Amino acid sequence: MKLLEERILAEGKAVSEEILKVDSFINHQVDPVLMQQIGEAFAAHFKDRGITKVVTIESSGIAPAQMTALALGVPLVIFKKQPSRVLNDNLRQTVVTSFTKGTSYELTLAQDFLTEEDHVLIIDDFLANGEAATGCIRLLRLSHATVAGVGVLIEKSFQPGREKLTEQGHEVYALARIGRLEKDRIEFLPADDAH
Binding-residue pattern over the window 20 to 39 for ligand G4P, x denoting contact by CB under 6 A: xxx----x------------
Residues between 155 and 174 that touch ligand G4P (CB under 6 A): 156, 161
How many alpha carbons lie under 13 Å from residue 112 in its C-beta half-sphere? 4
Among the listed residues 57, 107, 148, 191, the single contact to ligand G4P using CB under 6 A: 57
Strand blocks (E) in 118-171: 119-127, 146-156
Among the listed residues 9, 33, 99, 182, the single contact to ligand G4P using CB under 6 A: 99
Q: Does 175 bind ligand G4P (CB under 6 A)?
A: no
* Local structure of 40: helix, strand or coil: helix
Binding-residue pattern over the window 111 to 130 for ligand G4P, x denoting contact by CB under 6 A: --------------xxxxxx
CA distance 157 to 188: 9
Please spell the DSSP secondary structure of 43-87, one letter per residue.
HHHHTTS---EEEEETTTTHHHHHHHHHHHT--EEEEB-S--SS-
Q: Does 19 bind ligand G4P (CB under 6 A)?
A: yes
Query: Could you tell me the smallest distance in angstroms from the CB atom of residue 125 to ligand G4P?
Result: 5
Polymer length in residues for the chain: 195
Site of interaction with ligand G4P (CB under 6 A): 19-22, 27, 57, 59-61, 98-101, 125-132, 156, 161
